[in-house]
Structure 1
Amino acid sequence: MIVRAYRPGDAQAVIDVILPIQREEFGFSITAEDQPDLADIPGWYQTGAGQFWLAEQDGRAVGTIALKDIGGDAVALRKMFVRPEGRGAAGAAAALLATALEHARTHGVGEVWLGTTERFQAAHRFYEKNGFTQVAADDLPAAFPRMAVDTRFYRLAL
């Protein structure tokens, strides 16, 4: 498993990881066009303390994760998706999160915030196992980029 930063030419690989999970596994009626951040990953994520990574297994993208700098020594964790073959013992989720959190720490980030849906129950367990605590929507920073489907929120103090 290799985790590396997004680079030019990765856009289709990112879409190929994210869209099938959103559509087929979770039943969201969503397109790449509905997610403008995917059209400008460098401008959206690769600024300030932010970054975007891909996990690759045997040369194929199996997962993604991003940090969006939202100011005030805080980032939003976004776009964490792992294909079935990268889950569990393959370790893509753990490798992606470890990479993102190490990046956050080395860039002086004090808080990581994230939003997810009630449907992503395995994600809830994963985040909680990794030290995230559930928070109310009213506790989110004003600059947090809330998605319409977000119904459950977490915070991790670094």
Structure 2
Amino acid sequence: MEDNIIIRPLTNGDCAAIQALILPIQQIEFNIPITLEKQPDLLNIEKNYHATGGGFWGALAGEKLVGTIAMIGIGGGAGAIRKMFVEKEWRGKEKQIAQQLLAALIGYSRTNGITNLYLGTVDVLKAAQRFYERNGFQPIQKSAMPANFPFMAPDTVFYHLDLTTYA
């Protein structure tokens, strides 16, 4: 585990750093045809995440944002995980950044009465899918997702984690 990584909540003051991390990963690295205009949530973190009962967390190496994870509270004790991205140089089991980010989100969820986590991802993100599955997420059909889940157009693979049975 990297000793110099700090996981902390992100706010609107971090929007530029969040966009600078996420957009190149989506557009350049993974060739996902999505723009900032199609992700207006990245322009107001506090309204779109914190105000829903969710949150937005970042992994910082010094002052540099190297990873993010977010959750939208969707009601009924459920949350929708979004924006799980780690800069390429900071990925991998040895660095544990994705694991630390997920642990922060799960800790917050447990403290705030969120017992079910859902997420959608893109088929091309195989490493992300393996990561979620290693962490107890179960693949589910899109039709089994909660009615109030905020779907993103590119998402084709869906997961659920029941925190009441998660160790």
**TM-score normalised by structure 2 residue count:** 0.92
Matched, 1:97 2:102: yes
Q: Shift in Å at residue 105 of structure 1?
A: 0.6
SS in 2 for 1:14: helix
Whole-Å Cα distance in 2 between the matches of residues 94 and 150 of structure 1?
Answer: 22
TM-score, normalised with respect to structure 1: 0.97
Question: Distance between the aligned counterparts of 2:12 and 2:120, measured in 1?
Answer: 27
Equivalent in the alignment of 2:135:
130
Using the alignment, how far apart are the partners of 2:12 and 2:38 within structure 1?
21
Alignment-mate amino acid for residue 90 of structure 2: G
**Identity rate of aligned residues, in percent?**
47
Q: Deviations over 1:79-127 (max 9, x none)?
A: 0010012211222101100000010011011100000011000001000
Say if 2:7 is the partner of 1:3: yes
> Which of the numbers 109, 117, 125 marks the counterpart of 1:120?
125
Structure 2 residue aligned with 1:47: 51
Residue range with higher mean Cα deviation, 138-147 or 43-52: 43-52
* Counterpart position of 1:34: 38
Unmatched runs of 5 consecutive residues or more in structure 2: none
CA RMSD after TM alignment: 0.9
Matched with 1:83 is: 87
Deviation at 1:7, TM superposition (A): 2.4
8 Å CA contact 1:67–1:75 kept in 2: the answer is yes
Aligned residues: 158
Please state whether the residue corresponding to 1:96 is helix, strand or coil: helix
| Mapped pair 1:22 → 2:38 | no
Structure 1: which 5+ runs fail to align? none
User: After the TM superposition, which parts of structure 1 deviate over 4 Å for at least 4 consecutive aligned residues?
Assistant: none
Q: Is residue 11–residue 45 contact of structure 2 (8 Å, CA) maintained in 1?
A: no
Q: Which residue identity is paired with 1:125?
A: R
How many Å separate the matches in 2 of 1:117 and 1:28? 9
SS in 1 for 2:51: coil
Aligned partners of 2:121 and 2:26: how far apart in 1?
12
